[in-house]
Amino acid sequence: MKKTTTKLADGRELIYFDADDSAARDSTDLRPLEPTTALSEIRRDPATGDWVTIAAHRQGRIYHPPADECPLCPSRDGRRSEIPAPDYDVAVFENRFPSLASEAAAHVTGSDDPLQTRAPGAGRCEVVCFTADHGASFADLTEAKARLVLEAWTDRTAELSALPGVQQVFCFENRGAEIGVTLAHPHGQIYAFPFVAPRTTKMIGAAEAHRARTGRNLFEDLLAAELADPVRVVIAGEHWTAFVPYAARWPYEVHLYPNRRVADLTRLTAAERAEFPRVYLELLRRFDRLFTEAGHNAQAAPTPYIAAWHQAPALRGEELALHLELFTIRRTVGKLKFLAGVESGMDAFVNDVSPEAAAQRLREVAR
């Protein structure tokens, strides 16, 4: 892999990841861009302790542009985009409309009032373009290209974790207009949080309680239990296991774990990295076949999903295990799962599909 770092016209960082070590990336961003200022702040909810990011400057971000004006496609035929090069393998750049940004520290004043605690939204948000092909998806990548994306995630995890004030790095992909994606080009994002995310905080608390109660790690016990009774196991590899969780919140939800507990992407071995693309691509392709086979009517639209890497935060993360959570909001052909009042209002999920039935369906669509 070759990594090339350059700058966009407004000073944001752009990084190319190429499979070919001889790839030359000397293209210059010629757009007349003015620097932007992110005035993000984070506020602590005194009732829950959760941090909420306030980023009002994001209202002006690009929203569903036509394909010939996509800002994530390569710059070609006189049309300049966020990627100056005429082609690329994987490209990562700082978001022009970030929820979190390092310069927020210079513009936002903090407060220690217990009822109105706030701090600058200092962090970093990056966009990860998986391929130059606008019409493709992650599932269309070759194993070699998927491995390159994994290397990019790993590189960014290492670098962003080292930034001052960053407590957790979150790599994820939102796919599909139903999810709320505003750019159709295949891409994901990375957030470098100045706090530990609420879901991670809950998982760490559960893991610490499990350790105090049993003397064992929660995530190792969880994976062992799924393998001992594999009714919810979808794919079992030498180094990775994909399964529907016992208490799945979403109609089709799969968790993908390395069989050896590690804290984050940087700790994976060469063998684990080598097997990941095959397992993950198969999982994504099964998601796209969920509503098109075995008695289901034809469904032209690809399955919308969120794929989220859970990594240990910089502090208090010893018990957390790296894993990816993949889920879709589609519950059957032509029907989406909208969050109802008990879910949006109380965070009390109700699942219309049993986890065992979801796992069986995901096994049925294997090829």
Transcribe 282-303 into DSSP letters. Answer: HHHHHHHHTTTSTTPPP--SPP
Q: Are residues 182 and 211 in the same domain?
A: no
Report which residue type is found at 123: G
Q: Are residues 132 and 258 in the same domain?
A: no
**Domain stop point among 179, 195, 211:** 195
Strand segments, DSSP code E, in the chain are 2-7, 13-18, 41-44, 51-54, 90-94, 118-120, 124-129, 168-175, 187-193, 233-236, 240-243, 252-258, 305-310, 323-328, 330-332, 335-336
Q: Which of 107, 187, 239, 310 is catalytic?
A: 187
- Do 363 and 284 meet the contact criterion of CB atoms below 8 Å apart? no
Sheet with 51-54, strands from edge to edge, namely 51-54, 41-44, 118-120
185 in a known ligand binding site: yes
Q: Are residues 231 and 164 in the same domain?
A: no
70 in a known ligand binding site: yes
pLDDT at 293: 52
Q: Are residues 150 and 59 in the same domain?
A: yes
Active site residue 310: no
Low-confidence ranges of the chain (pLDDT < 70): 60, 63, 293-300
357 Cβ neighbours under 8 A, 6+ residues apart: none
User: In the structure encoding, which two tokens stand for residue 107, read together?
Assistant: 């513009």
**Domain stop point among 151, 170, 195:** 195
Q: Are residues 317 and 213 in the same domain?
A: yes
Q: Are residues 189 and 204 in the same domain?
A: no
Specify the pairing of strand 118-120 against strand 90-94: unpaired
Summarize pLDDT for 62-92 with one digit per residue, the tens. Answer: 767 887 899 999 998 889 999 999 999 999 9
124 Cβ neighbours under 8 A, 6+ residues apart: 94, 98, 100, 101, 102, 160, 163, 166, 190, 191, 192
pLDDT at 295: 45
Expressed as residue numbers, the domain containing 87 is 2-195
Q: Are residues 117 and 139 in the same domain?
A: yes
**Domain stop point among 195, 222, 254:** 195
Q: Are residues 211 and 357 in the same domain?
A: yes
pTM for the full predicted model: 0.95
pLDDT at 57: 74
Q: Are residues 189 and 227 in the same domain?
A: no
Choose among 168, 159, 61, 82: nearest CA to 128: 82
Summarize pLDDT for 9-36 with one digit per residue, the tens. Answer: 999 999 999 999 888 887 899 999 988 8
Dihedral sign for Cα atoms in the order 268, 271, 273, 275: negative
73 in a known ligand binding site: yes
Specify the number of domains making up the chain.
2
pLDDT at 60: 67
* Letter string b/e over residues 329-364, b meaning 16 or more CB atoms within 10 A of that residue's CB: bbbbeeeebeeeeeeeeeeeeebebebeebbebbee
Q: Are residues 33 and 177 in the same domain?
A: yes
164 Cβ neighbours under 8 A, 6+ residues apart: none
Q: Are residues 162 and 244 in the same domain?
A: no
The CATH number that applies at residue 164 is 3.30.428.10
Q: Are residues 311 and 327 in the same domain?
A: yes
To which residue do tokens 């919308």 refer? 304
